[in-house]
Amino acid sequence: MTGVATCLSRLRTSIAGVQATEGGAGVAPTAARLRELLQERARIYELRASEEARAEQLGATAAAKDKERLDAITNAKLAEAEIDRAHVDGLLRQANECRRLSAEAAAVVGRIDERAAALGLDIEALQLSYRNELAGFLDALYGGLMQRYTELVPELAETVLQLAAVRRVMLSEHLGDTNGWSGEIFLPQMRQGEGKTLEPMLDGASHGFAVLADARVREVHRMMREAGFALF
């Protein structure tokens, strides 16, 4: 397993632990309901746009029918001819029907706006609950990972100090290949909720690090002697 895969696996394990601590999928119902409402609002907005376009189209059709009716009446009068009442009355009925349907669609748009506004209030309330629950989830995950880090860092710090000790011996003896690490290290101290700056667990640039590393140089010399390098 690669390093990234290992980290992701540990993160999933931490998440599972948080979910177990928080009572399982406690956040999921809120998120699922919020998604449902957002999808419903999107559907409503699509319907609103459709009804608004329908109202405009019907209004334009009514205006065109009115124009056609008045043109027919005008043309008949100019020609001193009898007005085709069946025709113009039919155009009036069509225009009125279009106006009725246009007004109906416009009223539907108004009702949809009312529904959307009410839905928006529900969405806002759910969004607040969702964010509060997500904040709790992330806090728990953050704290769990901090705790895991705090458990691991002593062993890691000791390994780094031993590396630093061996590196010091290599540099002092001008032997071996020290490439691969410049000697820099900084392991912060972590404490969830702490607002003050904490002293680092390990800082390669500090005097305390040098003292700790130098103390382990003696152990490196002992290991060298045990390996048969009796000159040291």
Q: Which residues contact 17 (CB under 8 A, 6 or more apart)?
A: 144
SS3 202: strand
- Residue 124, in any domain of the structure: yes
pLDDT at 232 (0 to 100)? 43
Statement: residue 220 has pLDDT above 60 = yes
Write down the pLDDT at residue 18: 55
Range of the domain at 145: 3-149
- Concatenated DSSP letters of 141-187: HHHHHHHHHHHHHHHHHHHHHHHHHHHHHHHHHT-S--TT--S--EE
Q: Establish if 200 belongs to a structural domain.
A: yes
- Asked if residue 75 and residue 25 are part of one domain, the reply reads yes
Do 145 and 170 have their domain in common? Answer: no
pLDDT at res. 20: 55
Is pTM beyond 0.85? Reply is no
Average pLDDT over residues 135-144: 91
Asked whether residue 12 falls in the same domain as residue 104, the answer is yes
Q: Are residues 61 and 15 in the same domain?
A: yes
Domain end, chosen from 88, 117, 149, is at 149
Token pair belonging to 214: 């130098």
| In contact, 120 and 165? CB cutoff 8 Å | no
Residue 193, Cβ density class (10 Å: 0-12 exposed, 13-18 middle, ≥19 buried): exposed
37 and 136 Cβ atoms separated by less than 8 Å = no
Among the listed residues 104, 13, 4, the one whose alpha carbon sits nearest the alpha carbon of residue 52: 104
pLDDT value at position 187? 94
Q: What is the pLDDT of residues 15-37, one digit of tens each?
A: 666 555 555 444 468 999 999 99
Last residue of a domain, one of 149, 181, 212: 149
Q: Which residue has the higher pLDDT, 219 or 18?
A: 219
Residue 231 lies in a domain: no
* Residues linked to residue 187 through DSSP beta bridges, in sequence order: 202
Q: Average pLDDT in the 54-67 region?
A: 97
Q: What is the DSSP string of 57-107?
A: HHHHHHHHHHHHHHHHHHHHHHTT----HHHHHHHHHHHHHHHHHHHHHHH
Same domain for 110 and 164: no
Do 107 and 207 fall within a single domain? no
pLDDT higher than 70, residue 202: yes
Band of residue 73 on the pLDDT scale cut at 50, 70, 90: very high
Mean of per-residue pLDDT scores for the chain: 89
Query: In terms of domains, do 92 and 169 share one?
Result: no
As a whole-number percent, the residues of the chain with pLDDT over 90 amount to 76
DSSP 3-state of 203: strand
Q: State residue 22's pLDDT score.
A: 52
Residues 63 and 160 in one domain: no
Q: Is residue 72 part of a domain?
A: yes
Domain end call among 116, 149, 182: 149
pLDDT in tens, 171-185: 998 999 999 999 999
Assess if residue 213 is contained within a domain: yes
Residues 7 and 121 both lie in one domain = yes
Average pLDDT over residues 91-103: 97
Residues 192 and 82 in one domain: no
Residue type, 76: A
Name the band, by pLDDT with cuts 50, 70 and 90, for residue 214.
Answer: very high
Residues 160 and 140 in one domain: no
Question: Given its phi and psi angles, is residue 222 left (phi above 0), alpha (psi -120 to 50 degrees) or beta?
Answer: alpha
Number of domains making up the chain: 2
Same domain, 53 and 104: yes
Q: Is residue 84 part of a domain?
A: yes
Q: What is the pLDDT of residue 11?
A: 62
